[in-house]
Structure formats: C-alpha cells, structure tokens
Amino acid sequence: MQWKHKDLLDVSQLSEGEVRHILATAAYFREINSRPVKKVPTLKGRSVVLFFAEPSTRTKTSFDMAGKRLSADTFALAKSGSSLVKGETLKDTALTLQAMNPDGIVIRHSSSGAAQFLAERLDCSVINAGDGRHAHPTQALLDALTLSRRWKGDFAGKTVLILGDIAHSRVARSNVLLLTLLGARVRLCGPRTLLPPRLDAWPVEVFSDLSAACKGADAIMCLRLQLERQQAGLLPGLREYARTFGLSERHMAAAAPGCCVLHPGPINRGVEIGSALADSAESLILEQVENGVAVRMALLFLYLTRKSPDAAQVAAQSGMPE
C-alpha cells in the first residue's frame, strides 16, 4: 500500500485512519529515540531542505533531528540567509530549491498559503511547519500523540480546552480539526478580542469565563499570546490578561481527575500559564517536545518514501525489533 499524499499542508487532508497510522508509525520511531544509538538508515541518501522564513526553535530543531536520526541529509535555510531579503520572490526561491533536487522541503512562513503555493509548483514533497494563521499540522499531530499516549488512544468522550490567543493561532485551528476528527470535544476560551469571527461554524463550545471552561476538562492546552501578530488595543495589558485568562493550579481543581496541561511553546511564564503549573506533574509540555521528534520522523518517512507499511515493515526498515 502506498502513502497517497505528496504533501502535508493541513490536517484536513487526512482521514482518521491516516492520522492514526501516522501516530502508530511515530510510536515506533519514538522507541528509537530512547536508545543509546538513535540513528537508523531508513532515509539514507535522501535530502531535506528546512526552509524557515520565521523564527523557530522547537519545530526547526526537531525536524533537523528527525531527518538526521533517519540518516537523511538536512539543509537549513532561513529568510535572513536567503535571497528573499534581496527581493527574490517565493516562487523563484522555490524553483531554485527544486533545481537542486531535494526529496522534501519543510517550510515555515508568515504568509497563510505559502506551503500550498510551493506544493503546487514543486515535484518534491512539501511539509507545512506553520503558515501564517492558517495551519500547523505537525504540531497538532504531536499534540495528538501526546494525548493518545495518556488516553491509550481513546479520544471518545474526552474534553479538550484550548485557551488563549485563538484568533492568531494556527495551532488552535489545526488542533480543533484534528481533535474533533479523533472524537474529542473541543472548547475554546479567551478574550473576545482574541477570538476569531464566525465561531458558530466551528465544531467547538466557546467560553469567556476560564473557571467555567475548565470544569470537567480532560486536557487544557494553553496558547502563547502572539503579540507580534496583534494590533494595538486588543488587550488592556499583560497583567490584566494573566489575572483573567492565565491558567494556574487553582483552575485545575474544577477540571476532570487526571487533567493534563499542554503548551506548544515558547512559554511566557506567569502570563498564559503559571510557572508552578508548567513544572507540575500535570504538565506534558516536555513530552510534547519529545513526541515532536518522533512525529516528524514518521512524517519524513511517509512523505519521502510514499510508503505506508504495517508495523512489522516499519520495524524491519528501521532496524527495530518487531
């Protein structure tokens, strides 16, 4: 069976079965990352360009690490180090990269639709590492893997609260789609000025009161305030935001037993989440980072080989025990 997708632009491209297959594949690659020797020859001879036109620590580093652990050659390209700063168009940059015959390009860009723009013009696989406010599919997939491990793969009946700057968050959009697809109920909570328009068309329940939103939640995902994308006047101030919408340990009392906390990072401690809660046993923030490498290993494998093997074949090709 072949993996039918050339590109990963948004989670809306994926069926529930395909999402679960990605998570199962990532679970096998996660085992590699716990070994003393973490490198396997799965993608030896393949090349991946990491084209990051926006700053990134977690996503870029984890894609770089994922490629190297699969023995692929990775090449990093930042906007400041590319001809984009000289006035070259994204199209010409893409065609230049295509002429070098990479097997895949991972792109992060400030413009929504940039990943699709490249995918429509290039023969190699394009993986969206975040485009504007549009989508961040690999973050949603690693969040799903993190919750799947906590819930043993069963999302049915679970309630996930996404809290904070929803309007400017591509992470929120991708997670709403993916968590709903897997059977979870999704709540949103944030200041009215930081909620997107037409939420009545989203499959979510919207709250303006944080205590009410936390009641019975099985997982709470905090989002960073994206001040660089916001217009002036959307917030009265960080102190007021932290007092009204900052998640702290006292809010966890209303949540369901075993409720866990996630955050895509970077964290602004004391603003969107209390420092003590970020470091608590309920926090899965560092596990998200760990799972990010495994998910991106799975994605590079699937999209660069266009194969969709069963677990035994994944194990054999990766040098893992079946």
> Domain with 271 in it: what CATH number?
3.40.50.1370
Q: Are residues 60 and 195 in the same domain?
A: no
pLDDT given for residue 309 in this prediction: 56
Does the pTM surpass 0.85? The reply is yes
Output the pLDDT for position 92: 87
Q: Are 62 and 289 in contact (CB under 8 A)?
A: yes
Please name the amino acid found at residue 100. M
Tell me the pLDDT of the chain averaged across its residues: 91
CB 259 within 8 A of CB 220: yes
Q: Does 311 score more than 60 pLDDT?
A: no
Q: Same domain, yes or no, for 302 and 175? A: no
Would you say residue 161 lies in a domain? yes
Residues in the chain: 322
178-to-112, 186, 234, 255 alpha-carbon distances in Å: 19, 10, 28, 22
Same domain? 123 vs 225 = no
Q: Pick the residue with more confidence: 121 or 159?
A: 159
Residue 53: pLDDT over 50:
yes
DSSP 8-state symbol, 269: B
**The predicted structure's pLDDT at residue 234:** 62
- The answer to the question of residue 193 being in a domain is yes
**Within 10 A of 295 (CB to CB), how many other CB atoms are there?**
29
CB 125 within 8 A of CB 102: no
CA count, 13 A, side-chain hemisphere, 117: 17
Tell me the binding residues for carbamoyl phosphate.
Answer: 58-59, 108, 136, 139, 265-266
Q: Looking at the domain assignment, is residue 159 inside a domain?
A: yes
Burial 82-102, CB ≥16 within 10 A → b, else e: bebeeeeebeebbeebbeeeb
Residues 200 and 216 both lie in one domain: yes
Whether residue 203 is found in the same domain as residue 262: yes
Tally the C-alpha atoms within 13 A of residue 116's C-alpha that lie toward its C-beta: 12
Q: Identify the pLDDT of residue 74.
A: 97
- Domain containing 214 equals 137-287
User: Is 153 a member of any domain?
Assistant: yes
Question: Is position 5 within any domain?
Answer: no
Same domain, 158 and 202: yes
Residue-wise pLDDT for 240-281, tens only, equals 889 999 999 999 999 999 999 999 999 999 999 999 999 999
Task: Tell me, yes or no, whether 95 and 211 share the same domain.
Answer: no
The binding site comprises 58-59, 86, 108, 136, 139, 170, 224, 265-266
Number of domains in the chain: 2
Q: Same structural domain for residues 192 and 257?
A: yes
Of residues 9 and 89, the one with the higher pLDDT is 9
Question: Is residue 66 located within the same domain as residue 107?
Answer: yes
> What per-residue confidence (pLDDT) applies to 258?
96
Domain match, 193 and 257 both: yes
Q: Is residue 66 part of a domain?
A: yes
Amino acid at 262: L
pLDDT surpasses 50 at 322: no
If one compares 25 and 81, the residue with the highest pLDDT of the two is: 25
Residue 185 inside a domain? The answer is yes
Same domain, 131 and 146: no
User: Rounded distance, CA 108 to CA 132, Å?
Assistant: 8
**1-49: per-residue pLDDT in tens?**
589 999 999 999 999 999 999 999 999 999 999 999 999 999 999 999 9
pLDDT tier at 321 (50, 70, 90 boundaries)? very low
Has residue 1 been placed in a domain? no
Q: Collapsing DSSP states into helix, strand and coil, what is residue 101?
A: coil
| Residue 150 sits in the same domain as residue 231 | yes
